[in-house]
Amino acid sequence: MRPPRPAAGAESVPAASSHLVDPLAPLRTPADPPVDVYLTGTVFLDIIFTGLDSAPVRGTESWAQGMGSSPGGVANMATALARLGLRTSLAAAFGDDVYGDYCWDSLENGEGIDLSQSHRVPGWHSPVTVSMAYE
């Protein structure tokens, strides 16, 4: 199921993950902005193949022992900052495909990143990065 598109002008601040401590809590005042870090950039779906015996050869099939996936690109920085306990907001374009759904859900619900300034682009295929670990 595709996450709902945020309403224009909606103000949303992610709840801090329950396992994180807010490193700036002692310094915060009511006048502080609702986020600590605001990022913008391209979000990729990163696909990582592991356990390859060698580099793939053109025109042949290579089998991988494992594979993982996660939001990449600017999402790497946003995730790292959110995991440090900083209130993180990300403005990015997301495709309206299943890859965009996965990245949106992982960042918003899995990492607590505010995506209220992000948007979905109808008909746009999410950018993909493939990485291969071998030898």
pLDDT tens per residue, range 63-112? 999 999 999 999 999 999 999 999 999 999 999 999 999 999 999 999 99
Residue 4 confidence class, pLDDT cut points 50, 70, 90: very low
For residue 22, the model assigns a pLDDT of 84
* 94 to 39, 64, 65, 71, 125: CA distances (angstroms): 14, 28, 30, 11, 8
Tokens 């103000």 -> residue: 11
103 or 7: which leads in pLDDT: 103
Q: What is the pTM of this model?
A: 0.79
CATH 3.30.370 holds for 34-42+74-128: yes
Residue 19 confidence class, pLDDT cut points 50, 70, 90: low
Per-domain residue ranges for the chain?
34-42+74-128
Could you tell me the two tokens for 4? Answer: 């709902």
Q: Please, are residues 108 and 3 in contact by the beta-carbon 8 Å criterion? A: yes
Mean pLDDT of 23-37: 90
pLDDT above 70: residue 2? no
12 or 112: which leads in pLDDT: 112
Tokens 């949303």 -> residue: 12
